[in-house]
Structure formats: C-alpha cells, structure tokens
Amino acid sequence: MKKLLVLVLVAMAGLSSAWYNEATPDMLDARYAYATCDVEYAKDWLSMREGCGEENNVTVFDSTEYVDSLDDDLVDLREAADEGDSFEFGLGVFQLGADSLDLLGAIVQDALTNKTMSFFSCVRDGEDPLKDERDGCRTDALEKERGASKKYVQNEIDYANEQIDDLDGVGADTSGMEEAVEYGEELYDDIDPAFDSGDVKEIRKLHLRHSRIILVFRLEKMRATIDYAKPLIEDGNNENKEEILERMDVLDEDIAALVEGTCEYSSTVDNNFDYGRDNLECWDDSLDLFEEFLAIGALILEGA
C-alpha cells in the first residue's frame, strides 16, 4: 500500500512539475503556417493539373478525397497549435505526411495512364508560378518561426539555468549541465544565420542540434543528481540503500555511455539524415534511462 502511495505521489509530482515552454504556441503557429503553404500549393497544383487535362482532352483522377484529407489534417494542426499541444501537433504532422504520400502515389499512378506530352508540358509550365507563390508563403512562415525559435530556445536556456541553480544550490557538480547550456547559447546565435540562408536544410540542422542538446542536458542532469545523491545515500539509513546504490551505478554507466558515445553533442551536422537517425536512437535509449531515474527516485522515497 505504501509502495502504491509513493508511486502515485511521484507520478503526481511529475505531472505537476512538468515545465511548459511558453513559446510553444508561437512555434506551432509558425509550423502550421508552413504546412498550410504546402497544402495550398498541392491543392492549387491539382487544380492546375485538372485544367491541363481539360485543355488536352486527358482524363485525370478525382483528387477530391485526397484534398479533403489534407484539409482535415490542417484543421487538426490548427486545433493542436491553438491548444499549444506539441504532441498532438506532431501526430497531426505525421498524418499530413502520410496523406501527402497517398496523394503522391495516386498522382504517380495517374501519370502513367493515358497522358500526352502536351499534358505534361502544360503541367510543367503551370507549376512555376505556383512554386513561386509557395516559396513566398514559406518565407513568411519561416520568418514567423525565426522569432518563435528565438523565444523558444531562450526560454529553454532560462529554464536550464534554473535547474542548474537548484542543483548547484545543494552542492551538486553541474558542470556537464552548464556545458549543455553553452551549446544552447551557441545554437541561439546560429538561428539568424540559418534563417537568413532561407535554406530549409540549414533550419533543419538547427532542429536536429536542438533536439540533441535537450537530450544531453537531461542526461547530464541525471548524472549530476546521481553524483550528488550517491554519497548521501551511502551515509544514510534508507531501507533500500543497497538496491538504490546498485541501480545508481548501472544508470550512471549507461548515461556515460550515451553522453560520451553515440549521443555526444556535435554542433556540426554533416548529414541531416544520419544526425536525425542518431537522435531517434538516442531518444529511444534515453527514455529507458529516464524511467530508471524516476524509478530510483521512487525507491528512495519508498525506503525513507
């Protein structure tokens, strides 16, 4: 019963202490704007293509269903952005990607059936102005994201410094966390050059680095906490002392393997795909470590 109560309290503490970045709605709004540019482009392109079909007496497939799906996805994204719910927004983006792929498959299949050279020529000619329109729309959306990104990253730096102060205040070694904050400050300085370039790949690099920095900071925070707590547990009378110390040692080793190994931060992104793949693996591995960290906290409380 006591164990259950402890777990409930820990879970509630976790919920109540979850930090929310106040710039999240602005970030999501900027991304919604960007996604809208692409959906509008797709819809205009399909209309233009249908027009070419009529002009050249070519039958084109009915895209109404696909367009409705994209519109529905945008509605979901809008709702998530309004609520500042990044998780729902991420799901919405995934769905939009899936529906876009469906549409792409349908277009490719349609292009292979009974089309003429004049039809393809009409489509090629018609898409250039649409692309220009889309690019202008994207530029505006990216400008929105530039401002939101700065606020978002700055909020994270401030929050990270608060966490450092808390741990530093009790005497923990926060040097690893401080280093991660320095990476964050470097990233902040790189926001303007990346957005100035107008290259989506450069902006994507910022996102990838950002994701890794957040991960490294959290891993370093766990390290600092364990490093601080271990001797106190050793000298204390916690009923779960032996198990806590054993699990702390294992967790500390696992964290070190990630921070100093595959998940080590690099400000250089040679290949977006490789860096992104590593990020995914690092986050997957780290989620287990986060769980173990929380479990050790519960174990300390249980044995208190």
Partner 1 sequence: MNGKIVLIVFLGIFLILAGCAKKEAEVPPGPSEVTPVDNETEEPEEEAPPEEEPEAEPEPEPDTSGLMNEATEAIGAANEAIEKADGEGKDTSAAEAKVTEAEEKLHLEEFEEAKQLAEEAKTLAENAPAKEVPAENDTLENETGTSDEDLADLFKIDKDKPIGDEGLDTETPSS
Please state, in angstroms and rounded to a whole number, the distance separating the CA atoms of residues 186 and 133. Answer: 34
User: Does 107 contact partner 1 by CB under 8 A?
Assistant: yes
Interface with partner 1 in residues 165-184 (CB under 8 A) = 167, 170-171
Interface with partner 1 in residues 116-175 (CB under 8 A) = 123-124, 127, 131, 152, 156, 167, 170-171
Please state, in angstroms and rounded to a whole number, the distance separating the CA atoms of residues 238 and 14. Answer: 22
Interface with partner 1 in residues 184-213 (CB under 8 A) = 200, 203-204, 207-208, 210-211
Retrieve residue 107's tokens. Answer: 């277009």
Interface with partner 1 in residues 262-281 (CB under 8 A) = 276, 279-280
Please state, in angstroms and rounded to a whole number, the distance separating the CA atoms of residues 155 and 193. Answer: 20
Least distance CB 104 / partner 1 (angstroms)? 4
Please state, in angstroms and rounded to a whole number, the distance separating the CA atoms of residues 24 and 29. Answer: 8
Residue position matching structure tokens 């690019």: 135
Residue 85 parent element (H or E):
none
Say how many residues touch partner 1, by CB under 8 A: 79
Interface with partner 1 in residues 81-100 (CB under 8 A) = 86-87, 89-90, 93-94, 96-97, 100
Interface with partner 1 in residues 16-55 (CB under 8 A) = 17-19, 21, 24, 27-28, 31, 34-35, 38-39, 41-42, 45, 49
Retrieve residue 135's tokens. Answer: 């690019």
Among 160, 216, 222, 255, binds partner 1 (CB under 8 A): 222
Residue number with CB closer to partner 1 (45 or 188): 45
Closest CA to 211 of 293, 152, 276, 151: 276
Retrieve residue 118's tokens. Answer: 């004049």
Do the beta carbons of residue 84 and residue 166 sit within 8 Å?
no
Least distance CB 129 / partner 1 (angstroms)? 13
Q: How far is CA 208 from CA 22, 93, 158, 264, in A?
A: 21, 17, 20, 13
| Alpha helices, H only, the chain | 2-17, 24-55, 64-83, 86-111, 117-170, 175-197, 200-235, 241-259, 272-302
Least distance CB 57 / partner 1 (angstroms)? 19
Least distance CB 128 / partner 1 (angstroms)? 11
Residue number with CB closer to partner 1 (182 or 199): 199
Among 1, 64, 117, 237, binds partner 1 (CB under 8 A): 237
Least distance CB 249 / partner 1 (angstroms)? 15
